[in-house]
Chain A
Amino acid sequence: MGDVTLEHVSKHYDDVTAVDDMNLDIEDGEFICLVGPSGCGKSTTMEMIAGLTIPSEGKVFIGDREVTNLPPKDRGVAMVFQNIALFPHMDVYDNISFGLRLRNYDKEEIERRVERAAEIVQLQGMLERMPDEMSGGQRQRVAIARAIVRNPDVFLMDEPLANLDAKLRVHMRTELQRLHKELDTTIIYVTHDQAEAMTMSDRIAVIDSGQLQQIDPPLVCYNEPANLFVAGFIGSPSMNFLDGEVTEDGFVSTNIDVEFDPANLGIEAGTDVTMGIRPEDVYLVGDEALVSNPSHRIEAVTDVLEPMGDEIFVYLKLSESAETDLEDTSGVANDQLLMSVAPDTDIEEDEDVTVVLDRSRVHLFDTATGEAISHGIETPVQTSGAPGTEAESDD
């Protein structure tokens, strides 16, 4: 009933392509998050599913009906908007029952359904209030009640929590998950907050420049990003990227080399690659026991420390001239590395440290296309058992 399919959907405005050849297959009952930076086309994609925007090309299906050119009211969808969009001239009861009244349900049925919806979102006793007499969280719950009261096939949520304060946002997040469990309806959820996407969804669809980059369960997107964009977008703080080249011996960059046999990964020597490694996969020497498959040792100097409470982010300088750019942690920086360590670690600024990378968590991307080549690198045969010796001989 509630499966949604987009076939080669595109939306062009005068000279801008908002959505470019999007193919999506969303199953009934799934909780899908569309994530991406501002202006990537995720809201346009949602509007095309809702019918508020008509695609320039392609087809949209809900259930087994083609709905590409149907008006929103005939699609069996309900939507929760970023700005909540309650009708300010109606009280809560009238807001929730708006859609039912338009469809000429009889009075008792409307009353029964509104009561039920109010119960689900815990709004009992507030049905007489006007929207401007309610708090942000209450209004958001009214908007959700208005959406669920019609038993839609598909819920569309366009950054519904973006305007709430941080604490309320976390609370509403769990409420939405509970709601999804209770209703078992397809939910398509747009957000630019990857934490929301990671925690709530069955699958994440990462969108950039109007194109679908990857659609997979959250952990797959996190552990096996399909390309550089997904790798950089999912995870906070972002993955470290280092530009380098593949030689006969493995990956070579200005400050860090990782040995492997390129033939095993099917890469030709001479290819430009970008290596990615998440902050939590960089380990201080001494914690090596935690890593089953460490790389050789890397000498570095600590720069800035960011204690977060449950962990400390350490900016490492790989060369003398390196400068930590706190603003730009997503881009490629060959002379610095971000590391996360346990909160009780004894570490200070401007301290010489030695670190290793978890080879099984090293990602390699083709620099030219951005496509992932490999997630994790096997221990090369000839240097096995002696990690670190290479690095020392380098010095």
Chain B
Amino acid sequence: MSNETQGAGIGSADADMKRGPLGRWVDSAIKNPDKVYRAMFYVAMLFFLVTTLFPFYWLLVLALTPNNLIANMGLVPKGFNPEVFIAMFDRVPFHLYMFNSFVLGITTTVLVLLIASLAGYVFGRLRFPGKGVLMLGILAISYFPPAAFLIPLFELFTGNTAISIGMVTISTPDLFNTPAPMVFPFSALFLPLSIFILTTFYGQIPDGLEDAARVEGTTRLGALFRVIVPLSAPGVATAGVLTFISVYNEFFFSFLMNNGEADSWAPIVAGILKYQGQFDTPYNLMAAASIVGVLPVAILVIIAQERIVSGLTAGALKE
């Protein structure tokens, strides 16, 4: 009642004033705060959509414009050349680079999930002295800049490090141009996040279920993989997807631990750079390759996003 009279009061008092459309909108927004929240939501949405989707649009514009016309680009393609998506595979065996990226991503993910599962079991389900310190150590290591490891790791993986034991000198194997010098650093770098996610999940599985599995005939390890991991599927999926995407997007080690050839396990990054020739820079091909390279991850995220969100927030609530 009182609201109504008050509203009518404002309306009648302001009725004499001449107002533009903005003034009228402000007036109605004051009476209807929800309208403001909605407007703010749209503004924020628009901002994020533009910053995330504009690069894709721009890549598409570049890809569709024939290379000789790429100069002073506006917001629309200066031509329509969809054949670029076929031409990009002719010039560089881009599918091989994508294959390499997938192999690196999947190998790392499997390795990370395996080790993080064991670590997550220990941190999440067992009580032992020094647990807090160890956990803190893992957290600390996860913040080290990867660049700090690069030179020592490069020396190690290219066979330039040797250990002398008495008369025998053992030199490290030369792993340059193999998946190993990428998979190992990736695994180490992305392990802490997975350990944290899985620790939370495994810690929430009731002790009774593990005890039941052990009495029924599994070892502790058997109980982990037969009962705890399946019941933590959202967590395992989250850790797996995040690891895969991180590896797929990784630039640093991917670029430096091989010679950039498809048969040397070089991933997508190297593939895109490979288009650049001595005499030309085919921006349209590089843009097309970028789009094709991003597609698998975009699809993966769209499929898995619900799982990832529930996985990342599940640990926040204790049942």
B217 touches A73 (CB 8 A): yes
Q: Nearest residue in A to B233 (C-beta to C-beta)?
A: A89
Q: Contact check, A52 vs B214: say whether CB atoms are below 8 A apart.
A: yes
> Which one of B144-152, B172-180, B203-211 is at the A interface?
B203-211
Complex contacts, A72 vs chain B, CB 8 Å: 211, 214-215
In the bound complex, CA of A71 to CA of B220 (Å): 9
CA distance A84 to B209 in the complex (A): 9
| A83 contacts B206, C-beta separation under 8 Å | yes
Q: Which residues of A contact B219 (CB under 8 A)?
A: 71, 73
**Are B214 and A81 closer than 8 Å at their CB atoms?**
no
Contact digits for B8-23, partner A, Cβ 8 Å, 1 yes 0 no: 0000000000000000
Nearest-neighbour CB distance to chain B for A183, whole angstroms, equals 17
Measured in the bound complex, the distance between the Cα atoms of B217 and A146 in whole Å is 12
Q: Which residues of A contact B218 (CB under 8 A)?
A: 73, 102
> What residues of chain A lie closer than 8 Å to B206, measured between beta carbons?
83, 85
Most buried by A among B206, B208, B216: B216
Q: Fill in one digit per residue for B226-240: 1 if any A CB lies within 8 Å of its CB, else 0.
A: 010011000000000
With beta carbons under 8 angstroms apart, the residue of A73, A83, A86, A87 that contacts B215 is A73
The reply to whether B214 and A87 contact each other, CB–CB distance below 8 Å, is: no
Question: For the complex, is A266 an interface residue (Cβ under 8 Å from B)?
Answer: no
B222 within 8 A of A: yes
**Does B212 lie within 8 Å of A79, measured CB to CB?**
yes
CA gap between A35 and B214 in the complex, in Å: 25
Complex Cα spacing A103 to B230, Å: 20
Q: Does any Cβ of A come within 8 Å of B118's Cβ?
A: no
Alpha-carbon separation in the docked complex, A162 to B227 (Å): 24
Asked whether A309 is an interface residue with its Cβ less than 8 Å from the other chain, the reply is no
Interface assignment of A78: CB less than 8 Å from any CB of chain B: yes
Is B213 interfacial (CB-CB < 8 Å)?
yes
Q: Which of A87, A150, A156 has the most CB of B within 10 A?
A: A87
Complex interface bits, A23-53 against B, C-beta within 8 A gives 1, otherwise 0: 0000000000000000000000001001110
Q: Is A229 an interface residue (CB 8 A)?
A: no
> What is the minimal beta-carbon distance from A101 to any residue of chain B, in angstroms?
9
A103 to B217, CA, bound (A): 8
Name the interface size band of chain B. Answer: 10 to 19
Q: Which residues of A contact B213 (CB under 8 A)?
A: 87, 98
Interface centre among A77, A82, A98, A150 (most CB of B within 10 A): A98
Contacts A87-B227, A88-B231, A89-B231 known; A99 to B208 CB distance under 8 Å? no
Per the bound structure, the CA–CA distance linking A98 and B211 in Å amounts to 13
A81 touches B212 (CB 8 A): yes
Query: How far is A99 from B214 in the complex, measured between Cα atoms in Å?
Result: 9
| Chain B contacts for A99, CB-based, 8 A | 216-217
Partner of B216, one of A83, A102, A156: A102
* Interface residues as binary, A371-392 with B (CB distance below 8 Å gives 1, 0 otherwise): 0000000000000000000000
Q: Inside 8 A of A73's CB, which chain B residues have their CB?
A: 214-219
A85–B212 alpha-carbon span in the complex (Å): 7
Within 8 A of A (CB), among B69-116: none
In Å, the complex CA distance between A103 and B227 comes to 16
Which one of B211, B217, B222, B230 contacts A52 once the chains associate, using CB atoms below 8 Å?
Answer: B211
- The residue on A at minimum CB distance from B211 is A52
In contact, B214 and A71 (Cβ under 8 angstroms)? yes
Cα separation A98 to B215 with both chains bound (whole Å): 11
Residues of A with C-beta under 8 A to B211: 47, 50, 52, 72, 79, 81, 85
Q: How far is the CB of A150 from chain B (nearest CB, A)?
A: 8
Docked-complex contact A102 and B217, CB < 8 angstroms: yes
A297 to B290 CA separation, bound complex (whole angstroms):
102
* In the bound complex, CA of A89 to CA of B219 (Å): 19
Q: A71-B219, A73-B219, A102-B222 are in contact. Are A85 and B214 (CB under 8 A)?
A: no
Contacts A/B (CB < 8 Å), 19 sampled: A47-B211, A73-B214, A73-B219, A77-B215, A78-B215, A79-B215, A84-B208, A85-B211, A86-B212, A87-B209, A87-B212, A87-B231, A98-B216, A99-B217, A102-B216, A102-B217, A102-B218, A146-B212, A150-B216
> Top 3 closest A-B pairs, CB basis?
A85-B208, A99-B216, A102-B217
